[in-house]
Amino acid sequence: MSYPDVKQKRFLRKGEEAGTDNENFYVVDESNTTYELSAAVYYVWKLADGTKTVEEIVKQASAELNMPEEELQEPIAIIMLKLLENKLVAENLE
């Protein structure tokens, strides 16, 4: 899947924050597995609140990071799909 496939989807983060070591962030999922997330992945995970579409997350990230939306679309889509694959987000179908 790519950005056009996910841009209208909403994802809800799963798991709980478990701390940071100043470079990476740690999240524990529902089965008590700990994941080490880079700052970029953690940023996207935090924005996945179930209310914003991926397109809206890209727009927010673009504004906050002062980067063109086009440069963020595919990286954010890839991150979101990896988070989904690892069950750190779930699609919000509401």
Q: For residue range 34-51, what is the model confidence (pLDDT) as tens digits?
A: 999 999 999 999 999 999
Cα 15 to Cα 6, 30, 37, 51, 60, distances in angstroms = 21, 6, 13, 17, 23
| Cα-Cα-Cα-Cα dihedral sign, residues 38, 43, 46, 48 | negative
Residues recorded for the chain: 94
Q: pLDDT tens digits for 72-82?
A: 999 999 999 99
Task: Judge residue 48's burial from the number of C-beta atoms within 10 Å of its C-beta, 0-12 exposed, 13-18 middle, 19 or more buried.
Answer: buried
Q: How far apart are CA 92 and CA 67, in angstroms?
A: 27
- Percent of the chain whose pLDDT exceeds 90: 94
Taking residue 47's Cβ as centre, other Cβ atoms within 10 Å add up to 20
pTM beyond cutoff 0.85:
yes
What is the predicted pLDDT for the residue at 64? 96
| Cα-Cα-Cα-Cα dihedral sign, residues 29, 62, 68, 9 | positive
Domains of the chain with CATH codes: 3-91 (3.90.930.60)
